[in-house]
Structure 1
Amino acid sequence: MKRNEFIKISGLMGLGLAIFPHFSFTSFSEEFTRNQLIGQGNPDIIGDSYTSKMHKAAKEAFNRMKVEAAKENIKIEVVSAYRSFQRQKELFERKYKRFTNEGLSPEKAIEKIIEYSTIPGTSRHHWGTDIDLIDANAPRPANVLMPENFHGNGPYCNFKVWLDANAERFDFYEVYTDNGNRKGFKYEPWHFSYAPVSIPMLKEYNEKIDVKKMLSDEKLLGSEFFSDEFITRYQNENILDINPKLLPKV
């Protein structure tokens, strides 16, 4: 084994022992391609629909969590799972056209989009590790993915209590936490990530992907308005300012 490969694997093993002692080290030693990291193809994704496609390891853990929740009369429903680069591009460009047509400058339109939506090629949903969840047994509001639905008298309040108490037992962690000091994407109490796979994918993403070049190469509408300053801020706030338990060990 080459020295740099040994250092890489040893570091990741240390991360597993320090933060997630129950994780399998095999998932941490995998290397990922550019296409896997930006959502342009992944042989580990299984499922046949927008809400069922996940990384095979995440799918197995999710099914175990779903069975456990059912014992508490909670029926976990996936609203969104794996999302391809092309799908995210369609969503982004549709919003970009709408906002600019309404009179916003390209820069303001981009800022408005990234309050909740990711730029294509940067979404955690590209990895098949991240899922948006609701309780199908609860009364269904018109807009399911709203923070108020998960707190107070919201229909998913009990579900959120259950997730807070149990999700980490299945290696799922809330990504965009309700932390007043956190920047980037707003609070998403429905968004959970399967850490044994998403942590090494984030690590390799940071090492391999030049975000500005990638977006230029993929000819994303509006990408010419992504300044170096914007990209740096977006990486620091929207990609990395997440639940610390989901960050790779430095």
Structure 2
Amino acid sequence: MKRNEFIKISGLAGISLAIFPQFSFNNFSEEFTRNQLIGKGNPDIVGDSYTSKMHKTAKEAFLKMKAAAAKENINIEVVSAYRSFQRQKEIFEGKYKKFTSEGLSPDKAIQKIKEYSTIPGTSRHHWGTDIDIIDANAPRPSNVLMPENFHGTGPFCKLKTWLNENATKFDFYEVYTDNGIRKGFKYEPWHFSYAPVSIPMLKAYKEKIDVKKMLSEEKILGNEHFSEAFVSKYVKENILDINPKLLS
């Protein structure tokens, strides 16, 4: 290819990405397996702990974002990253046992759990693209993942302001936004997703995973209460009612 032709094509590509920033997201070429999508193994996950394991390209972007924040004396700490199916199952079933032992009916226990926690096999954390983050340089409250910690006089306000201004420069987007008309999970100002990988993974999830069938096959505690109507609503509100910038 002649140099002037290359420059012309490169310039057009750059303009396309500037006008349509999600163009590159939807061209992520990897094929995703069922196990990858539901948290049962992913060869692209790197790291050695639940706070360091991420999809390899998400981790590269995160480290760049962390370095940029450090220049503003913000120490981004990951408190949760990749979460396997088994780990999510332990979380869900632990809460289910706790709430039902306290007197809640199974249906009400499940409703309470899904205010903030996903049903195993449906968590975005299964993909290694999503992280829960705080500022390690700020005073640490006993419960770090509370919305009030990121607003008003909360310890992570500086981090939240910085993320509002800079996270998208590294392709990270808040998932469960503070939107009065959004349903599903409650507002999570700490939860960010690496869009170039999570967008195609969500697309693959919608195409490949029959959620009702998967939940039945995996024998999750309480799954007999996952009716067709419940699952349909859960998919619509909890899986798909997210920041529109993270939808394909």
Length-normalised TM-score, structure 1:
0.90
Whole-Å Cα distance in 2 between the matches of residues 232 and 93 of structure 1? 21
Q: Runs of 5+ in structure 2 lacking a partner?
A: 1-15
> What does 1:33-48 align with in structure 2 at a 5 Å threshold?
33-48=33-48
The code of the aligned residue for 2:200 comes to P
1:22-58, Cα deviation, whole Å (9 max, x unpaired): 73665x2221000000000000000001100000000
SS at match of 2:103: coil
Which residue of structure 2 aligns with residue 132 of structure 1?
132
Whole-Å Cα distance in 2 between the matches of residues 21 and 146 of structure 1? 30
Whole-Å Cα distance in 1 between the matches of residues 109 and 156 of structure 2? 31
> What does 1:1-250 align with in structure 2 at a 5 Å threshold?
19-20=20-21, 23=24, 28-248=28-248
Structure 1 contact 19–245 (Cα < 8 Å) conserved: no
Which residue of structure 1 aligns with residue 7 of structure 2?
none
Q: Runs of 5+ in structure 1 lacking a partner?
A: 1-14
SS at match of 1:213: helix
Whole-Å Cα distance in 2 between the matches of residues 50 and 152 of structure 1? 29
Shift of 1:17: 7.4
The code of the aligned residue for 1:169 comes to K
Moved more, 50-59 or 17-26: 17-26
The code of the aligned residue for 2:120 comes to P
1:80-135, Cα deviation, whole Å (9 max, x unpaired): 00000000000000111111111111111100000000000000000000000000
Whole-Å Cα distance in 2 between the matches of residues 51 and 21 of structure 1? 27
Change (3 A) 1:19 1:94: farther
Identity of aligned residues (%): 77
The code of the aligned residue for 2:232 comes to T
Whole-Å Cα distance in 1 between the matches of residues 26 and 227 of structure 2? 38
The code of the aligned residue for 1:23 comes to S
The code of the aligned residue for 2:24 comes to F
Length-normalised TM-score, structure 2:
0.91
1:145-169, Cα deviation, whole Å (9 max, x unpaired): 0000000100000110000000000
The code of the aligned residue for 2:207 comes to E
Whole-Å Cα distance in 1 between the matches of residues 21 and 95 of structure 2? 38
Structure 2 contact 96–110 (Cα < 8 Å) conserved: yes
Structure 1 contact 32–201 (Cα < 8 Å) conserved: yes
Whole-Å Cα distance in 2 between the matches of residues 25 and 127 of structure 1? 16
Structure 2 contact 25–197 (Cα < 8 Å) conserved: no
Aligned length: 233
**Higher Cα Rg, which structure:** 2
- The RMSD of aligned alpha carbons is 1.5
Whole-Å Cα distance in 2 between the matches of residues 214 and 17 of structure 1? 39
Whole-Å Cα distance in 1 between the matches of residues 25 and 244 of structure 2? 20
Whole-Å Cα distance in 2 between the matches of residues 176 and 19 of structure 1? 23
Structure 1 contact 16–25 (Cα < 8 Å) conserved: no
Change (3 A) 1:210 1:144: same
Structure 2 contact 26–200 (Cα < 8 Å) conserved: no
SS at match of 1:79: strand
